[in-house]
Structure formats: structure tokens, C-alpha cells
Amino acid sequence: MQIHNIIFTGRMYRELEAAWPGGADKQVRFLAESEVSEADMAWADAFVGFKPVPAFHLESVRWVHALGAGVDAFVYRKPWKPDVLLTRTTGSFGQKIGEYCLSHMLADLQHHDAFALSRSDRSWNPIPPLPLSGSRVTVMGTGSVGQELARMLQALGVEVSGVSMRGERKPHMDHVYPMSHIGDAVSAADWVINTLPLTPQTDKLFGPALFARMNGAGFINVGRGPSVDQAALLEALDQGHLRLAVLDVFEEEPLPDASPLWKHKDARVTPHVAAVTSVEEALGGFLDTLRKLEAGERELANRVDPVRGY
């Protein structure tokens, strides 16, 4: 595939323009999302961004490259032309998400919130920390992110289970359950971590029935916001099925001011920062994929199946 005309858009388009290699033999337009016109889309061979812009269409482009790890903004419940290639940025998302999860798990086990309150009123209240080693974690999703997260947890003595569509064995996971046995996978977990993409199978997957199978687990969502039924999550926290929810992604972002999650004592809210794409990762991943495409390579590790959504 030969690519000549490229549109870059999204929140880092100016930084990408500044980092663009001067010798690249391409026609490139760096535009804010609101500036991309239908004429730009008709001109472009390739579209690079985090999500579709208002003028986005697939009539002329041959390749869409997502600057983030997730591609649901492009394909979930949306039509896709089968002859248009879809790829995504990979980078170090697994390590970043692993560090994010570990930071919140350790803060909970080391009672950081309780000690912060004790400090505010100068109360000497020694609470023994709990060990991470020996705990049981279920990672929902066994792709590259889930496997790296499992590797980091297993290295610290954690018993890691995974959940995938078919339940195939994966590195660094002591056991992998098929989606049909998801209830068994979460019932004995101390922590449940969602890394799944958004698909018809995962939309509102975390609802009343699944939360009811949990027994005081901590829940971390670094996958996709629409995978969680927010009302069911709040009920699970209030009923004790969950003791803590760490949430980085939401169905509506930014999270509305009126959301009860902001004030719930057992919810931790972060603004979609678990795995932020850097300029170096974004541009390096794009240029590497471009090189492989123009060299005629067919096997692309970051290629996405638009039908499956990952």
C-alpha cells in the first residue's frame, strides 16, 4: 500500500506537527478536529486521530490509524468499509496500566486514605498494612495489556486469573476462564481488573448479575466506560459486593458534575490517565506501521479486526 496524503488530528496534532520528520516524502495536514472538512477527508489516503471527527467518512481513505489503544470510537456500532485498513497505537500501554493498577492496589492495602485522614486531625492510628503477595486478581482481557499486567502482578506473588472469549492459556496467568464462566472467575477474586475493549459482548458486561458474584472485591476499570452499568456499580458498592472501585474510564467523559461517583466514599475517579499516549509513541507507531505497509508487509501486530472490534 502506498500512502501519499495524510491527515493528523486530535489533541496532540500540534506536537505531532513539530515532531514530523522533515524528509518524509508525504503530503501532510495537521488539523484540529473541528477544522477537518469533507474536502480534507476526500483528499486523504490516511486518517490519523483518536476518534472520528464530524466530517469523517470512509469514501476515500485507505487507512485509519488510531492514536490510542482503543478503536471503539471508530467501529463500535458504526459501519466500516472492509477494504479500509484499521490499525492502532500499541506502545507501552501494558506497563503504564500495570503501574496505574499497582499504585491504587498498594495505596488501598497500605491504608493511604486512612492515614491521610489521621494526619488531618493529628491522630496516631497504626493500621497494619496488608500484603499484595498471595492475593487473587482476575484480569478481564488477555491481550497485550492484560498479559503485561499479569506479568507485573505475578512477579509480586499474586495469583492471576484471566478471562477471554475462549479461555485459551496465556503467559503469566495461572488460569484463564472463557467468558461463559465469568462468574466463577470473579467470585473468589480479591481484585477484578477490566482491560477489555468495547464490543457487543462487553457493553454493560459489568452489571447486576456479575457484580452479585463478587465478594467484597476491589474493582478497577481501565478498559472502556460503557462496559460498566454505573447504577449497578453503585448498588454493588452499597451492598458490599465491591469494597472499592477505581475508575479511569466512563461512558460519558468528562464525568458529569452530577455523577454520584464523585462523592461516593468507596469510589476513586481519575480522568482517563491510566495509559496516556505520548507524542513519541504516537508518531513512532504510525511511522513504523507506514514503513511496513509501504514495504508490502502483511502481518501487522497492531492491525484491528473491525468486525471483532480489537
Residues 6+ apart with CB under 8 A from 121: none
Name the catalytic one among 65, 172, 224, 241. Answer: 224
Instruction: Tell me if 86 sits within 8 A of 71, measured CB to CB.
Output: yes
Is 253 labeled as catalytic in the residue annotation?
yes
Q: Which one from 168, 252, 253, 297 is the annotated catalytic residue?
A: 253
Are the CB atoms for 173 and 147 separated by under 8 Å? Answer: yes
**Contacts by residues 284-293 (CB-CB < 8 Å, ≥ 24 positions apart):** 284/91, 285/65, 285/89, 285/90, 285/91, 286/48, 286/65, 286/67, 286/89, 287/21, 287/24, 289/65, 289/87, 290/3, 290/46, 293/1, 293/3, 293/63, 293/85
Dist. CA 247–CA 272, nearest whole Å:
8
Contacts 24+ apart (CB under 8 A), 56-63: 58/84, 62/1, 62/3, 63/1, 63/3, 63/87, 63/293
Closest CA to 300 of 289, 287, 291, 310: 289
CA distances from 169 to 134, 176, 202, 221, 236 (A): 21, 6, 20, 23, 30
Distance CA 284, CA 68 (A): 13
Q: Which residues are catalytic?
A: 224, 253, 272
